[in-house]
Amino acid sequence: MSGELDRMAMAVLQPGFEGTEPPAWLRRALAEGLGGVVLFARNVAGLDGTAALVAELRRERPDVVVAVDEEGGAVTRLEAAKGSSWPGNLALGVAGDESLTRRVARQIGRMVAAAGVTLDYAPVVDVNADPRNPVIGVRSFGSDPEEVGRHGAAWIEGLQSAGVAACAKHFPGHGDTVTDSHLALPAVRASREVIERRDLPPFRAAIAAGVRAVMCGHLFVPAVDALPATLSRAVLTGLLREELGFEGLVVTDAIEMRAVAALHEPGEIAVRALAAGADAICVGVSSARGESVYALRDAITGAVREGRLAEERLAEAAGRVRDLAAWYDAQAEARAAVARDADEGLGLAAATAALRATPVEQVRAPLTKAPLVVHLAARPSQAVGRATPLKLGQAIEEILPGTVTAEVDDDGHLPDLSEAGRPLVIAVHDAARHGWMRRLLDEALRARPDAVVVETGVPGPPAGRLYLATHGNSTASARAAARWLTGAV
């Protein structure tokens, strides 16, 4: 019985690991029942290399659930080295075409499927209710619950049509927060009525669309419970299971995030999350020899023996992990079909559809010679990770050789803006959220009122002679903006 209990405890874990080949401890853990693995940019050595890595994992355990964060836009793992070829959610929401959203998600699914991945931790269906939000922003389809729900459902349908499971996140809604859960516990202080009207409709739409998984957020939602959502039976079982009727896999956000890591040891977080109704425990960082994964297993089995975690609850969770793996196995034909369904040029076309210029009557490309491009750059959130998308200046230089770029952070100073009479482009990201960025932007516009301003995040009040909003900072969005600015569209 002890062996079966150990295997069930291993089945509910989804740890990360270092390197582009499976370490020895991971191979051993898979043989001993480890149910899942999550990939990060550190594991990716090109699409072929990732597919080879996943094939190695499946040789150890054919039904392992391999997960990845592949949202498109700012958050990409498989394209971290060059930035995403696909616009993110806000760009798709602004473009306003659900069929376009569905097609983009299917192509993201095509890429993820080619890597052998089972579960994509996407889409984000949080409603971006607070423009100060430091971690959602352009990852959301927008601030209107109905629009977010429609595009979220279309994204899920598109991805799952490619034979890859989707995961709606971050339940019950991370959009009305001003804290990044990687750093501290965010609070959603809205009333239960507001949560029902604003935050839950996109999750209802995702469930109606057949989403296979839901990720809970590390969120304090006092209108529902005094416990963080990850550890709350009222949230995971009462609200998600019983009220919304979700029957698929519930996975936690990474348990090393400070929002919950500051409250309990990892093993205790895992036990409490499972007792609350979670089925899979995401662990982004594991010890070099896997001791941390085995410590989680032992904490779970110990809690069952002590009567703090019902064995039936653990068996149910392990069963849902197996169900997801079985669903993936049944989608082999869908993955074979999407492999033949390349949609060339779609990423650039979708990003172009999201461009919005002020004044709207601007029809003539403002750049006729190589400009100076000044990037006012804030540090990306931990959710973005190591992604290095093509910057706007680089994208313009592909069209106008000789373009000069300068990058300025919150400790920096503007360069000489005269730069031999060059046109000036100022690229900002979420300028409305950063006082230092607004200050430098105002200073630049006083010196060069002819400057073009390009906002790659959530737009604020238009600034400058021409203000172009891309609604995202993917490589696709940078290229779309460069083509528009130079008249190469």
Q: For 226, left (φ over 0), alpha (ψ -120 to 50), or beta? A: alpha
Q: How many CB atoms lie within 10 A of CB 190?
A: 18
The answer, yes or no, to whether the previous bond of 170 is cis (omega within 30 of 0) is: yes
User: What is the C-alpha to C-alpha distance for residues 177 and 428, in angstroms, rounded to an integer?
Assistant: 22
Exposed / middle / buried, residue 238 (Cβ in 10 Å: 0-12, 13-18, 19+): middle
**Strands lying side by side in the sheet with 249-252:** 36-39, 65-68, 119-120, 165-171, 213-216, 249-252
CA atoms of 146 and 224, how far apart (whole Å): 22
Give catalytic status of residue 120 as yes or no.
Answer: no
Written as one string, the DSSP assignment of 153-207 is: HHHHHHHHTTT-EEEEEEET--SS-SS-TTTS--B----HHHIIIIISHHHHHHH
Task: Based on the residue annotation, tell me whether 279 is a catalytic residue of this protein.
Answer: no
**Whole-number Å distance between alpha carbons of 139 and 149:** 14
Q: Which tokens in the block code for residue 151? A: 């595009």
Residue 380 contacts residue 413 (beta carbons within 8 Å) = no
Catalytic residue among 180, 253, 279, 430: 253
- Which residue among the candidates 170, 182, 218, 375 is catalytic per the annotation? 182
Asked if 436 and 450 count as a contact pair (C-beta separation under 8 A), the reply is no
Are the CB atoms for 275 and 264 separated by under 8 Å?
A: no
Classify each residue of 394-412 as buried b or exposed e, where b means 16 or more C-beta atoms within 10 Å of its C-beta: bbbbebbeebebbebeeee
CA atoms of 74 and 86, how far apart (whole Å): 9
Active-site residue list? 182, 253
